[in-house]
Amino acid sequence: MGRLEWWGLSCYDPATNHFTTFRHDPKNPRSLPNNYVRTVFQDHQGRIWISTGGGGLSCYDAHTGAFTTFRADGRNPRSLSSNSVRSILQDQQGILWIGTEGGGFSRVDDPITGRFTTFRESDGLPNDVVYGIQQDQQGYLWLATNKGIARFAPRTRKFHTFDERDGLLQDEFNAAACHHSAAGVLYFGGVNGLVAFRPEEVHINPLPPPVVLTAFRKFNRPVELPDTVITERRVLRLSPEDKVFSLEFAALNFQIPEKNRYSYQLENFNKQWVPAGNHREATYTNLDPGTYTFRVVATNNDGVLNPQGAALSIIIEPPWHRTWWFQVGLSWVVFGLLFLVYRIRVGQLLTLERVRHGIARDLHDDMGSTLSSISILSQIARNHQRQQRPELAAAILEQIGESSRRMLDAMDDIVWAINPAHDSLDDVTARMRRFASEVLEARGIEFTFRADPSVQGLKLGMEARREFFLLFKEAVNNLAKYAQCQHAIILLAYHHGRLHLTVEDDGVGFDPNSPAQGGGNGLANMRTRATNLSGQLTIETAPGQGTKLHLTMPLGN
């Protein structure tokens, strides 16, 4: 049987000296798949295998004269890998091997149903074009490709590639230009000539290569480490500013070193090993702070792996705002702020509670007693009217009116004190001036009221404002009732964080050590209010020398 390219397949019968020709028939699926026949191969079972250019692989049945064709099917990974078949070989175990153009190298697992196992470049084959296949006495398959000759071990499914660097004339070989001689010599023809060798004399470098780190760079600039070279380094610390760094490595195999191959991995970053080929560098950018381990392994020129390789721990320090001490400090600051807010809130609630108690006390003491006296006086006034005593009834009504006015004044003071709109010391000053004018002018007392510009814009809280104004009111009332003065001076100033109030008159004065004078309720109330304000109250007076009252109190703002 012979081959006739483009014109089908012809079978020669020596007995009759005639040819029988088989051609592709589009109407007959059992005919030759196409007329471009490349290889005709008879296996140990007597089956005739025909490889075609674009038609796939066919098996001819001499009894029926039919062809069974196997073609590539992209949906079936176990189908023929390419319809362009270049070479066919049956090994010592009777297994058929198929070399294709562009589809790699396949094993026929089932010649009846057409199940194949394919090996490609991703599996270690140097090139997916396999022109010729030969088997040596040791069972290895030798494959001629466009990138050298590959030796394949069927048992381990491992490839080993030889190319010009190993001494071949060329890397590109020709289709069907291969032969295994009776003497055990393999021949492969290529674009530059014929290569012949004995497979048993081709030795493999069995030594796994030591792997070392050779250089370290930041932003593509070499960096010399201060304490040791990168080769001996075990731990490398980087700052947050080291956004881009590179590591260089090398396999210490000097037998065709350009065929050394590398793979690397950065643990906690790379999920899988990164195949680097013969590229001897790994670059990383913008890694998160943390601890990483860089590992690199290599194979020698004959693909022998050193799985130990080289390793380097890399610690990338976090920026200051992500360090543990900053996080702990920040948590304490947040806790402190929350606690401060809590304390302020509690203080506000306590202040409000004290104000409420103060208002309740004032309402109970002042308002209650005043209303009780008004009720009693009203009853007395009605009795005088029944007894026809109009003068006495009028006097009682006058007392009722005076008590009502005092109660209204007290209520006005309470309402004014708890209104937050009056927190400004300017409002307090205006009310003090108005009260002093009403009280002192009614008694014919000339007075000077002066507020220093330093008090403008200051704030006085509700409780402090209430206590301060009531103390001032008590002082002015005492001055109007008992001083018998012609002139009074009222001064208000702010110095070094403290508020100063001075009330001075040119009246008769008194002896502060006298129980009848110093122990009065008015002075006691003023001292109590000064204590509530965390202030200091001093009274300078003597009989016939007037009185000078001075209050100083802290003011936070």
Classify each residue of 393-419 as buried b or exposed e, where b means 16 or more C-beta atoms within 10 Å of its C-beta: beebeeebeebeeebeebeebbebbbe
Residue 3 has pLDDT above 60, yes or no: no
Paired tokens of 287: 């890694």
Higher pLDDT, 370 or 75: 75
Write the CATH number of the domain with boundaries 211-320: 2.60.40.10
* pLDDT per position as a tens digit, 148-167: 999 999 999 999 999 999 98
Under the banding of pLDDT at 50, 70 and 90, the label for residue 99 is very high
- pLDDT mean across residues, the chain: 87
Q: Residues 198-212: what's their mean pLDDT?
A: 93
* pLDDT per position as a tens digit, 236-272: 999 888 889 999 999 999 999 999 999 999 999 999 9
Q: Check: CATH 3.30.565.10 for 420-557?
A: yes
Share of the chain above pLDDT 90, in %: 54
Report field, pTM of the whole predicted structure over 0.85: no
Q: How far apart are CA 412 and CA 366, in angstroms?
A: 13
pLDDT of residue 225: 76
**Long-range contacts for 277-284 (Cβ within 8 Å, ≥24 apart)?**
280/214, 280/248, 280/249, 280/250, 281/246, 281/247, 281/248, 281/249, 282/246, 282/247, 282/249, 283/244, 283/245, 283/246, 284/244, 284/245, 284/246
Closest CA to 425 of 393, 465, 474, 388: 465
Fold of 2-201: Methylamine Dehydrogenase; Chain H (2.130.10)
Higher pLDDT, 513 or 33: 33
pLDDT of residue 355: 67
* pLDDT per position as a tens digit, 288-312: 999 999 999 999 999 899 999 999 9
The phi and psi torsions of 165 (rounded to 5 degrees) equal -70, -20
* pLDDT per position as a tens digit, 435-482: 899 889 888 999 999 999 888 888 887 778 888 888 998 899 889 888
Under the banding of pLDDT at 50, 70 and 90, the label for residue 1 is very low
* pLDDT per position as a tens digit, 443-453: 899 999 999 98
Under the banding of pLDDT at 50, 70 and 90, the label for residue 519 is very low
pLDDT of residue 472: 92
Residue 362 has pLDDT above 80, yes or no: no
Residue 394 has pLDDT above 80, yes or no: no
